[in-house]
């Protein structure tokens, strides 16, 4: 199946920003520096904390910046203290939502089955899941990466139709590379992205193996993104600390935009 994928690049703020003022300044600076972006080839998202997300949603901002949430609950409404409904996220203009980040697994007890409930909730409410998958250091050293990715994707995507794969964004983020000075090697990233594609092929048929966009996350910054984004199987980047400065984020976006343009050119020639 040959078609042009729209690449994706985004930033998640986690809870690094200490004021709404700082969050608003970030969006304003970012929005003033995206005149080079062709949205037919590249999509940009940013995931503020929930408090900042509400404030930012009321701003007149650059339409190239798509908002998303860092998490949500799997029910639309009900007695779920402290949770956030997908209906509310949709209502304030969110397009994307992170689901399955390893920190949610580690600190809040999420598992493949609760992640599946959230993916289904996003799907039925018109939100695009940014679904994160990846292995631990112990699993990586034991050679279990393929098995882990198959299990995570097989459960998380249960009930999701093949027609939704073009919208879906998958993030391969090895849990052992998060927050480290060094990211995974080019060889590991390429092999693991191929394993994600292989798992999708097993779930939906081989002709669908490369339909979903698979982006890379895990200690991404401007320096290493120059090499990572050139890997053919990498459809974009998911960044946290390397994008907390909007000027640095713009620099990374430019790299991805250039690669998106080059891929579109090669696709047209082919």
* Tokens matching residue 247: 């000027």
Is residue 173 flagged as an active site residue?
yes
35: three-class secondary structure by DSSP:
coil
Distance CA 211, CA 91 (A): 29
The residues near 186 (Cβ < 8 Å, ≥ 6 apart) are 227, 228, 231
8-state DSSP, 113:
H
Report d(CA 206, CA 218) in Å as an integer: 28
CB 127 within 8 A of CB 94: yes
- Annotated active-site residue in 43, 173, 193, 259: 173
Single out the catalytic residue among 101, 110, 135, 193. 101
Instruction: Please answer whether residues 42 and 256 qualify as being in contact, where contact means their C-beta atoms are separated by less than 8 angstroms.
Output: yes
Alpha helices in the chain (DSSP H): 20-31, 50-56, 86-91, 102-108, 112-124, 137-141, 145-156, 186-204, 222-228, 246-269
CB under 8 Å to 152, separation ≥6 — which residues? 100, 112, 115, 133
Residues that are catalytic:
101, 173
């Amino acid at each position: 199946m040959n078609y042009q994928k729209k690449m994706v690049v985004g930033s998640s703020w986690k809870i690094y920003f200490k004021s709404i003022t700082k969050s608003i300044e970030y969006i304003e600076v970012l929005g003033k520096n995206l005149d080079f972006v062709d949205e037919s080839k590249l999509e940009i998202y940013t995931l503020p904390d929930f408090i900042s997300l509400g404030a930012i949603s009321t701003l007149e901002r650059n339409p190239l910046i798509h908002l998303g949430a860092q998490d949500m609950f799997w029910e639309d409404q009900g007695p779920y203290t402290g949770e956030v409904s997908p209906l509310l996220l949709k209502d304030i203009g969110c397009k994307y939502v992170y689901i399955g980040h390893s920190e949610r697994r580690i600190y809040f007890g999420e598992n493949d089955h609760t992640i599946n409930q959230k993916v289904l909730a996003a799907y039925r409410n018109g939100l695009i899941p940014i679904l994160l998958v990846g292995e631990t250091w112990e699993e990586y050293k034991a050679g279990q990466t393929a098995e882990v990715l198959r299990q995570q994707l097989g459960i998380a995507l249960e009930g999701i139709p093949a027609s939704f794969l073009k919208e879906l964004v998958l993030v391969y983020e090895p849990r052992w590379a998060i927050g480290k000075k060094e990211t995974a090697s080019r060889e590991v990233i390429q092999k693991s992205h191929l394993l994600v594609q292989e798992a999708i092929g097993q779930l939906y048929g081989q002709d669908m193996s490369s339909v979903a966009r698979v982006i890379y996350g895990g200690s991404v910054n401007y320096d290493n993104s120059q090499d990572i984004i050139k890997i053919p199987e990498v459809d974009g980047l998911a960044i946290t600390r390397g994008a907390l400065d909007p000027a640095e984020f713009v620099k990374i976006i430019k790299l991805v935009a250039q690669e998106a343009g080059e891929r579109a050119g090669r696709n047209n020639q082919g």
